[in-house]
């Protein structure tokens, strides 16, 4: 029997531990998959662009994210359609695609078979409109028989126990995101977090008190009083929260005029990628609002804090953003070109960029 009910209590215990300690999610998902006879398990927050999976699925998930199937694969699309129509519990892949569609579908034949993936079953564990849908997917091998109805019933009973843990994890992660945003912000420079849909996830409590003559917040939507500034703000948020590579999601900073005149605020919308996305979890982009009249070092940027860079990495990133070549940076920093390359690789990994040009675009957006 591939369903091991004797392990259900331990699976629930591991889920609640992972809710408080996110680094334990891969192990919790691996134990869950083993108890249900799955080759791997994935949790796929639809509106965050972030995935968590059991270790056996690492290569699969990396390829999935990099492929054209990540935004819209037929299993996910059909499963969500059935869920929105009122379907409860796990949905098997046979219910998502007909046998005829399975034979013809390129996602099944070109991508899934490449990793020898067979039947699957999934369901929406958490649905928090409008910004978060959290499906969980159980993958089987190409040689496995699909889950039987009796097995799916037992699995549904276990997943009902796990839902509170996932809800708790989201609350813990969101609380941490808000604390981090508030700690990065400072007088004269505030941080606002946006979800994948462009809605405000978190804004400082005193936002309108400090900047209400330039900005307003209504029902989760941030706007600027000035029409042209509002258009630029909306466009920048839409661009930064999109699915393009990080280098294509950055935008120039823009002025936010005040209703009664005076020196305008400066806005910079920056995509959260790499280490910054891990820290802020549910957030997809951040708006940095700077008041030029505040008593602060106006040349500083939150690059280092957002992406967790060391001082040396931050200097290299800043020089790359200024258009300097790696050989010149190495000479200026008094390091070898090999050390500069190694440091650049770390910066690329932390910022979620893949090329020096992408990094330059991302970093330079802070100072425009």
What DSSP assignment string belongs to 99-115?
A: HHHHHH-HIIIIIIGGG
State whether 133 and 11 are in the same domain: yes
Structure-model confidence comparison of residues 350 and 102, the more confident one:
102
Out of 276, 299, 322, a domain closes at: 299
Q: What are the residues facing 127 on neighbouring strands? A: 133
Residue 19 lies in a domain: yes
Same domain? For 275 and 222 the reply is yes
Cβ 249 vs Cβ 271: under 8 Å = yes
Is there a single domain that holds both residue 350 and residue 257?
no
Q: Does residue 178 belong to any structural domain of this protein?
A: no
How many domains does the structure of the chain reveal?
3
Whether residue 368 lies inside any domain: the answer is yes
What is the average pLDDT across 350-361? 80
Choose the final residue of a domain: 138, 172, 206: 172
Neighbours of 240 (CB within 10 A): 24
Shared domain for 33 and 132, answered yes or no, is yes
Residue 159: the pLDDT is 92
Domain with 91, as residue range(s), is 5-172
pLDDT at 73 over 60: yes
- CA gap 297, 284 in Å, rounded: 27
Same domain, 145 and 194: no
- Domain termination residue (choose one: 172, 195, 210): 172
Whether the full predicted model's pTM is greater than 0.85, yes or no, is: no
Predicted confidence at residue 175, as pLDDT, reads 62
- Asked, for residue 179, whether it belongs to a domain, the answer is no
Q: pLDDT band for position 280 (50/70/90)?
A: very low
Query: Which CATH number covers residue 45?
Result: 3.30.450.80
Beta strands in the chain (DSSP E): 40-43, 52-53, 91-92, 117-128, 132-141, 189-194, 200-202, 215-218, 221-224, 254-256, 265-271, 285-290
Q: pLDDT tens, 192-248?
A: 888 877 888 888 877 878 888 899 998 888 999 999 999 999 999 988 888 776 667
The CATH number covering residue 199 comes to 3.30.450
Do 77 and 204 belong together in one domain?
no
Query: Is residue 354 assigned to a domain?
Result: yes
> Residue 180 falls within a domain, yes or no?
no
């Amino acid at each position: 029997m591939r369903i091991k009910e004797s392990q259900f209590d331990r699976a629930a215990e591991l889920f609640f531990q992972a809710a408080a300690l996110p680094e334990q999610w891969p192990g919790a998902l691996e134990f869950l998959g083993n108890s249900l006879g799955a080759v791997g398990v994935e949790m796929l927050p639809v509106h965050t662009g972030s995935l968590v999976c059991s270790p056996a699925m690492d290569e699969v998930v990396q390829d999935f994210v990099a492929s054209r199937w990540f935004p819209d694969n037929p299993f996910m699309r059909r499963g969500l359609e059935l869920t929105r129509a009122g379907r409860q519990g796990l949905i098997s892949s046979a219910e998502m695609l007909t046998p005829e569609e399975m034979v013809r579908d390129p996602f099944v034949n070109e991508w899934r078979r490449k990793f020898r993936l067979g039947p699957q079953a999934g369901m929406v564990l958490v649905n928090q409109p409008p910004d978060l849908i959290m499906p969980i997917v159980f993958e089987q091998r190409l040689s496995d028989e699909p889950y039987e109805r009796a097995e799916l019933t037992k699995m549904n009973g276990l997943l009902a126990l796990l839902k509170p843990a996932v809800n708790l994890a989201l609350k813990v992660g969101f609380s941490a995101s808000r604390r981090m945003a508030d700690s990065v912000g400072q007088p004269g420079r505030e941080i606002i977090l946006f979800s994948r849909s462009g809605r405000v996830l978190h804004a400082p409590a005193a936002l309108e008190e400090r900047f209400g003559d330039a900005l307003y917040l209504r029902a989760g939507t941030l706007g600027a009083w000035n029409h042209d500034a509002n258009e630029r703000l909306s466009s920048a948020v839409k661009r930064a929260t999109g699915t393009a590579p990080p280098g294509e999601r950055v935008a120039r900073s823009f002025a936010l005029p005040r209703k009664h005149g005076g020196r305008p605020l400066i806005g910079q919308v920056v995509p959260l990628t790499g280490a910054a996305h891990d820290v802020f979890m549910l957030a997809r982009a951040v708006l940095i609002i700077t008041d030029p009249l505040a008593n602060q070092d106006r040349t500083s940027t939150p690059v280092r804090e957002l992406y967790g860079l060391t001082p040396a990495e931050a200097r290299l990133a800043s020089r790359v953003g200024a258009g300097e070549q790696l050989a010149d940076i190495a000479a200026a920093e008094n390091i070898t070109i090999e050390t500069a390359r190694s440091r650049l690789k770390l910066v690329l990994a932390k910022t979620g960029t893949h090329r020096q040009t992408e990094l330059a675009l991302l970093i330079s957006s802070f100072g425009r």
